[in-house]
Amino acid sequence: MRFVTWDLGKIKIFPMPDIYISHPDEEEKKTEEKEEKEKTSFPQSKPLARFLARIGARPASNPLAAFLALPEKVKFETQEKKEEIILLLRRHWVTNLAWIFLALLMIFAPLSLKTLPLLESLPPRFRLVAVVMWYLFILGFVFEKFLSWFFNVFIITDERIIDVDFYSLVYREICQAKIDKIQDITYKSGGLLKAIFDYGDVYIQTAGEIQQLEFESIPQPVKVVKILNQLIMEEEQEKINGRVR
C-alpha cells in the first residue's frame, strides 16, 4: 500500500507502513487447528470431561463405534432431563467377525452353483426364486445380527448404569443400578483376541435389587473401570457436599 504527499509541486510516493497485514492462509490454518482441537477434545469445563481426556477417552464421533464417550446426539428411553450419558458401550466389533465371515460366505455361495449343480433338477423359474430367496434370507440374517449388536448396549450416565439387552425379536430387558449402589467392580480380559484388541468383561456388583450387571466383551475395560471409579468418587463427593440429585 502507498500514500501520496505533495512536496514542492512534485509528487512523492512513500510506501505506507503496514499496520496489519492479513495472512488468509495462516488464519485458515489457525481456524482449522482450533476446529480440530475442538473435535478431538472434551469441553474442559467439567471435571469429568477433564478426567476422560486425561485417561485418553476420545469424544464420540462415529455412531457405529463400540466405545462412545459423552455421545451428544444419543438419548435413551428412560433418560431424565439433566441426566448425561458418560459412556455408551457395545460389544467390541471383533465379536462380529464370525457372523460377518459367515454372511460373506453365504453371499458368494451361489457362485458355487456353476461347479456344483445343486439346483439343476429344478426348473429355471424355481432356480431364480431360490437364488432371490437366498439373498433375502442373507439380508434378514445380517440385519438381525447388526441390530442385535447395535442395540445391546451398556450405558453409563452420571447417575446410573444401564444394561439394555434385546434377547429376541420382541423381548427386551433393561437392568439399571444407581452409581451409589455399586459395591464392587471386577474386570476380566483373557485370551489372545481380547489381549490383542483390548476388550473384556466388566462385572459390577450392586447393593440393589439386581445384584450383578455384566458388561460383556466391551472395549477398553480398564478405562471403563477407571471412569466408574471416578463416578463413584464424584457421587460420594456430592453426598458429602449435599448436592444429591
In terms of Cβ atoms closer than 10 Å to its own Cβ (0-12, 13-18, 19+), residue 238 is middle
Query: In this structure, what are the phi and psi dihedrals at residue 57, rounded to the nearest 5 degrees?
Result: -85, 115
3 makes contact with other proteins (CB under 8 A)? no
166 makes contact with other proteins (CB under 8 A)? yes
151 makes contact with other proteins (CB under 8 A)? yes
126 makes contact with other proteins (CB under 8 A)? yes
In terms of Cβ atoms closer than 10 Å to its own Cβ (0-12, 13-18, 19+), residue 200 is buried
16 makes contact with other proteins (CB under 8 A)? no
Could you tell me the smallest distance in angstroms from the CB atom of residue 170 to other proteins? 7
With contacts defined by CB under 8 A, how many residues of the chain interact with other proteins?
A: 31
| 8 Å CB contact between 221 and 146 | no
DSSP 8-class letter at 17: P
In terms of Cβ atoms closer than 10 Å to its own Cβ (0-12, 13-18, 19+), residue 205 is middle
Distance CA 93, CA 66 (A): 7
Stretch binding other proteins (CB under 8 A), from 33-41, 104-112, 127-135, 233-241: 127-135
Distance CA 207, CA 107 (A): 48
Stretch binding other proteins (CB under 8 A), from 22-30, 131-139, 186-194, 198-206: 131-139
Site for other proteins in 44-103 (CB under 8 A): 63-64, 71, 73-77
Could you tell me the smallest distance in angstroms from the CB atom of residue 152 to other proteins? 9
Interaction site with other proteins (CB under 8 A): 63-64, 71, 73-77, 123, 125-126, 128-129, 132-133, 136-137, 139-140, 143-144, 147, 150-151, 153, 164, 166, 169-170, 172, 174
